[in-house]
Structure 1
Amino acid sequence: MLERLVHWAIAAPDDALPVPDLHDLQSAMASGDQHAIDVAANCAALGLARMQLLGAAPPAQRAGWRITDSDTAIDLEARLQQALAAGSIDTFFASLRPTHPDYAALRVAYAAEKDPVRRKTIALNMERWRWMPQSLGQSYVLVNTASFETSLWRGGERAGTWQVIVGKPSTPSPVFSARITGVTFNPWWDIPASIVRERHGRFPTGQGYVKTAGGFRQKPGPLNALGQVKVVMPNPYHVYMHDTPSKSLFAQDVRAFSHGCIRVNDPLNLVTALLDGTQNRAQIDALVATGRTTTVNLTRPLPVYVTYFTAGVLSDGSFAILPDIYGRDARLDALFTPGTTECSGSGRR
């Protein structure tokens, strides 16, 4: 066990992680005290395991990353003891890496990259994958605001990718997770209070704006800011995926124009895929043609992750380093400073 633990500790930089502090283990081994060796080895193994599963960055450097990571509930100490009993310590450590294929691509690129700036960007994004749940679901939607893409994944494979418009640098799209519960055709737009304040409560006549007791709304129609369809994904940030009447903006390479919402190119194609056979494209076109506001629920809710990865695999299969449009990479300085290792408890944090 000790030989394999040291091997995994020394190999931590292959995953853009710091080598754990093995001083206590080395001191215990020098003393020959088997109990002290066991305690120090267990401590070092759990420290490395936590970094592999949950990341090396302290909580302050994760500010704004609001994707719930269910892996924090994993009892790492129990897993470690099971691995030791089975003689499978290598499997234990290998199983803690992010399982998404984008992480594997980042790992390969990190090993090959010589430019220190590009290498640091790849490392930052490997760390971000450790902040994601290892299991994103059998089917899910992954939005990457840095690449201006949203993808539908089914059975571990990318089933489709759509161009998107995301928040401006002054109103960036947040990072969060939610669940898609349905699709609304010919939606009303309930205008956020921040936009009402920005426009000083003044909206053009003839574009369907209606004043209500609680603020302003916009009627469905060709000028509606949400377009023909909105993906229902309740969240505290009031950020949704939806259509847009401003189709020309999709011709831009850098598509950061919204107040935070995710505008989708060819959204009817996307929602047809989301509804997965419960409504075919002809039925969807017929619903849109009625002009009536109609919500169709998914058979089962679908996880959606709105993320920010500035390095990774694009829809065309190429690997790219992307512009840091929100300056989030630049704020993650001293990212991989190891924290203290706690040897007691379940391994949760």
Structure 2
Amino acid sequence: MSGALRAAIALAATAVAWSPVAAQELHHSWSAADVTKLKQWVAAAPQDALPRLETTALDRALANGDAEEISRQARQIALRLAKMHLKGRASEAERRGWNIRDTDDENALGSMLDNALGSGSLDTFFAVQRPAHLEYSALRAAYAADADEQRRKVIARNMERWRWLPRSLGPDYVLVNTARFEARLWRAGEVAGTWRVIVGKISTPTPVFDATITGVILNPWWEIPASIVRESVGALVRRNPALAKQRGYVWSDGRYRQRPGPNNALGQMKLVMPNPYSVFMHDTPNKDLFEKEVRAFSHGCIRTGDAIGYAATLLEGVRTREEVDQIVAGGETTQLDLAKPLPLYVAYFTAVENDQGGIDILDDIYRRDDRIRTLSADYRSEGRLAATGCAMQSAE
């Protein structure tokens, strides 16, 4: 999708949302053309892997010529359909473990619908509720074209996941797809960089969540979690202090830490990204693991390939790569703030667009796909993971 087309859609969406038409008057303004358009969108819902809503009550009102009931039924159906496009149709059980905050206000749909009816832009009203990301558009096209029912189920589940995200992720952000073992930096709607990552093991999966990156710590200390102190580090410090010192472990003021250095479990970089899961993006001394195809080795945190290059990219406008390298070489712990905070989304998608424009189906390493129903024989109408994070990181 071109930038001009995205801008046109955004402008149309603004017109739908804020057209100065009285809502009270528009509640009773469903014309025959509007109802026809609504029924077309209801019929087209399966193209977005959504169920086709029941319209029996609306059809009955149409047959009886009851204008007030037609308006009431059409409005109810339109709002339900718009909400499904905007928020998805999954239950809480299906969404379990998805901890990304959805900032889209479904309460605004009513006024948007009223304004769309008044301005003759019902098509735009429904279209702008879909996820705005290009990846969703690619999945939607593949869902329509793919003849393999199993692939279509995977694609449908991932289309649903996109509806659980904010409709727009913002102009600049980082999106980590743990199923793809990859982090992407997006700037102004384009991919500005891609990095391999190592994610949580099957037993300690990386959670799905959002955070805000505010800075970078170079040559970080590692605050060793109590679980790892109990597991290994505490005994090592007590029984073999010479080896513990060699590995950089320090005990003082009632806490265990690891000094910055080549053996530090966080490597030479850690992002400042406060979150309730104690999960961070950071470097690692075990660089060889990035060559593995399946990179699920951590206890929840996101180890990042070319971590210093990644940090330098995030710090553009604040420090040059040469300045970052100098700080790292100096060995002093240094925190640098980004030019502006950057949203981070740690998500899980098992159907993704590849470089050739096709769709790759990835291994469902955390067995999350089966939680989500698909538009198949199991239903035809609407209505019918604990994170462990860096607190469990290995001391190896």
TM-score range with shorter-chain normalisation?
Answer: over 0.9
When residues 86 and 299 of structure 1 are mapped into structure 2, their CA distance, relative to the original with a 3 A threshold, is same
When residues 317 and 240 of structure 1 are mapped into structure 2, their CA distance, relative to the original with a 3 A threshold, is farther
- Check if 1:312 corresponds to 2:345: no
> 1:286 pairs with 318, 326, 340, which one?
326
Please give the residue correspondences for 1:37-48 in structure 2 after superposition, counting only pairs within 5 Å: 37-48=70-81
- Check if 1:223 corresponds to 2:256: no
Aligned to 2:199: 166
Secondary structure of the structure 2 residue equivalent to 1:263: strand
> 1:132 pairs with 146, 152, 165, which one?
165
Secondary structure of the structure 2 residue equivalent to 1:279: coil
Question: Which whole-Å CA distance do the structure 1 matches of 2:302 and 2:35 have between them?
Answer: 49
Q: What displacement does 1:334 show? A: 5.9
Cα deviation 1:12-46 (Å, max 9, x = unaligned): 01000000111221122122211111000000000
Question: Which whole-Å CA distance do the structure 2 matches of 1:335 and 1:191 have between them?
Answer: 46
Aligned to 2:185: 152
User: Where does structure 1 lack aligned partners over 5 or more consecutive residues?
Assistant: 342-349
Secondary structure of the structure 2 residue equivalent to 1:121: helix
> Could you tell me whether the CA contact under 8 Å between 1:310 and 1:324 is conserved in 2?
yes
Aligned to 2:11: none
Amino acid at match of 2:371: R
Q: What displacement does 1:108 show? A: 1.1
Aligned to 2:371: 331
Question: Which whole-Å CA distance do the structure 2 matches of 1:292 and 1:315 have between them?
Answer: 40
Secondary structure of the structure 2 residue equivalent to 1:4: helix
- Check if 1:97 corresponds to 2:130: yes
TM-score (norm 2): 0.82
> Could you tell me whether the CA contact under 8 Å between 1:56 and 1:335 is conserved in 2?
no
Question: Which whole-Å CA distance do the structure 2 matches of 1:113 and 1:329 have between them?
Answer: 19
User: Where does structure 2 lack aligned partners over 5 or more consecutive residues?
Assistant: 1-33, 237-242, 385-396
Q: What displacement does 1:330 show? A: 2.1
Amino acid at match of 1:244: T
Amino acid at match of 1:55: G
Q: What displacement does 1:192 show? A: 2.6
Question: Which whole-Å CA distance do the structure 1 matches of 2:105 and 2:52 have between them?
Answer: 22
Q: What displacement does 1:200 show? A: 7.5
Question: Which whole-Å CA distance do the structure 1 matches of 2:226 and 2:175 have between them?
Answer: 27
Aligned to 1:14: 47
Amino acid at match of 1:325: I
> Could you tell me whether the CA contact under 8 Å between 1:175 and 1:307 is conserved in 2?
yes
> 1:120 pairs with 149, 153, 156, which one?
153
- Bigger proportion of residues as helix: 2
> 1:300 pairs with 340, 352, 358, which one?
340
> 1:64 pairs with 67, 76, 97, which one?
97
When residues 321 and 263 of structure 1 are mapped into structure 2, their CA distance, relative to the original with a 3 A threshold, is same
CA-based RMSD of the aligned residues comes to: 1.8
Secondary structure of the structure 2 residue equivalent to 1:273: helix
> Rg: which structure is higher?
2
Aligned to 2:388: none
Amino acid at match of 1:51: M
Aligned to 1:347: none
Please give the residue correspondences for 1:156-195 in structure 2 after superposition, counting only pairs within 5 Å: 156-195=189-228
**Which deviates more from structure 2 when the two are superposed, residues 87-96 or residues 192-201?**
192-201
Question: Which whole-Å CA distance do the structure 1 matches of 2:167 and 2:254 have between them?
Answer: 41
Q: What displacement does 1:318 show? A: 5.1
Question: Which whole-Å CA distance do the structure 2 matches of 1:195 and 1:14 have between them?
Answer: 49
Cα deviation 1:115-152 (Å, max 9, x = unaligned): 11111000000000000111211110000000000000
Q: What displacement does 1:218 show? A: 1.1
When residues 165 and 312 of structure 1 are mapped into structure 2, their CA distance, relative to the original with a 3 A threshold, is same
